[in-house]
């Protein structure tokens, strides 16, 4: 293997390892019948391999109209007991 090719492989490997430690952040959003919604997503690392632990954090912002139109089942259909799984 010539030295230029070896250097390119080393630089590529280093750049991949540096990218793996940086978090990945991106905005999300859309529209529903009740108005616009938005949010943000953060993933602990922008690259991973099988078996890695990945943390995902997200923020969801909805309008008051969204909240007013949420329908929950009435009390007769809901259990008041929380069962751990």
Q: Where are the domains of the chain?
A: 3-68
Average pLDDT over residues 16-34: 77
- Give the single-character DSSP code of 31: E
Give the residue-averaged pLDDT of 10-34.
72
Cα(30)–Cα(47) distance, integer angstroms? 26
Instruction: Name the burial class of residue 24, with classes exposed (0-12), middle (13-18) and buried (19+) by CB atoms within 10 angstroms of its CB.
Output: middle
Strands ordered across the beta sheet of 24-32: 24-32, 35-43, 56-61
- Segment 35-85, tens digit of pLDDT: 899 999 998 877 778 888 888 899 999 998 888 887 666 655 655 565 555
The pTM of this model reads 0.53
Tokens 């909240």 belong to residue: 67
């Amino acid at each position: 293997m010539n030295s230029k090719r070896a250097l390119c492989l080393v630089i590529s490997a280093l750049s991949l390892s540096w990218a793996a430690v940086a978090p990945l952040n991106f905005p999300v959003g859309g529209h529903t019948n009740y108005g616009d919604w938005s949010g943000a997503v953060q993933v602990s690392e922008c690259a991973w391999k099988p078996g890695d632990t990945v943390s995902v954090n997200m923020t969801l912002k909805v309008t008051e109209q969204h909240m007013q139109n949420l329908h929950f089942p009435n009390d007769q259909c809901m259990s008041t007991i929380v069962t751990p799984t």
